[in-house]
C-alpha cells in the first residue's frame, strides 16, 4: 500500500514540479521508489552509484556512436540494468543485512535516473529527486497520522 501511495504521489508531484520548474526528478516513477528506500542510505548510494556509472558509460559510448532519442533512453536503461545487476552479484557473496543494502534497488531505476542526469545535468536531476522524495515522504507521514512509514 505504501509503495502504491508513494508512486502515485511521486507521479503527481513530479509532473507538477516539472511543469512549474522545468526539471524532472529522475523520471516519473523514480521518486516513488526512492521514497521506499529512503530509510536505507547504502541502497540509495548504490542506486545512485549505478546511475552515475551508467551515465559515464553512456557518455563514453556517445563519443564513438550516434546515440540519440529512443536509442539513448534504451542504452541508459540497459546500462542501468547491467550495473544494478552487477551490484547484486558483487554483494551477494555472503548474504548479510549490510551487503543486501549495498545492492542497487530496481532494474530500471538506475537507467532512468542516468537518462535524466544526462538530459538536464547531474545536480539538477539529483536535486529535484531529493526535493520530491522529501515532500512525498512528508506527505505520507501526514497521511498516515504521523507514524513512521518505512
Number of domains comprising the chain: 1
Mean pLDDT in order along the chain per 10 residues (150 residues)? 91 93 89 92 93 97 93 96 90 68 88 96 96 95 81
144-to-23, 138, 147, 150 alpha-carbon distances in Å: 29, 10, 6, 11
Residue 95 confidence (pLDDT): 66
Range(s) of the domain holding residue 6: 2-143
Say if 148 falls within a structural domain.
no
Residue 3 confidence (pLDDT): 87
Residue closest to 114 by CA, chosen among 144, 84, 91: 84
Say if 80 falls within a structural domain.
yes
Question: What is d(CA 83, CA 104) in angstroms, rounded to the nearest whole number?
Answer: 8
Q: What is the pTM of this model?
A: 0.90
Scan for cell 551490484, then name that residue: 87
Amino acid at each position: 500500500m505504501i509503495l502504491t501511495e508513494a508512486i502515485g504521489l511521486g507521479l503527481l508531484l513530479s509532473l507538477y514540479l516539472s511543469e512549474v520548474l522545468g526539471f524532472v526528478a529522475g523520471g516519473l516513477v523514480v521518486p516513488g521508489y526512492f521514497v521506499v528506500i529512503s530509510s536505507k542510505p547504502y541502497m540509495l548510494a548504490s542506486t545512485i552509484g549505478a546511475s552515475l556509472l551508467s551515465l559515464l558509460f553512456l557518455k563514453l559510448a556517445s563519443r564513438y556512436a550516434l546515440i540519440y532519442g529512443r536509442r539513448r533512453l534504451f542504452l541508459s536503461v540497459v546500462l542501468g540494468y547491467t550495473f544494478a545487476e552487477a551490484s547484486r552479484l558483487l554483494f551477494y557473496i555472503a548474504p548479510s543485512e549490510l551487503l543486501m543494502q549495498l545492492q542497487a534497488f530496481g532494474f530500471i531505476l538506475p537507467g532512468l535516473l542516468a537518462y535524466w542526469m544526462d538530459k538536464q545535468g547531474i545536480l539538477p536531476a539529483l536535486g529535484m529527486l531529493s526535493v520530491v522524495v522529501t515532500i512525498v515522504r512528508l506527505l505520507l507521514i501526514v497521511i498516515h497520522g504521523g507514524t513512521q512509514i518505512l
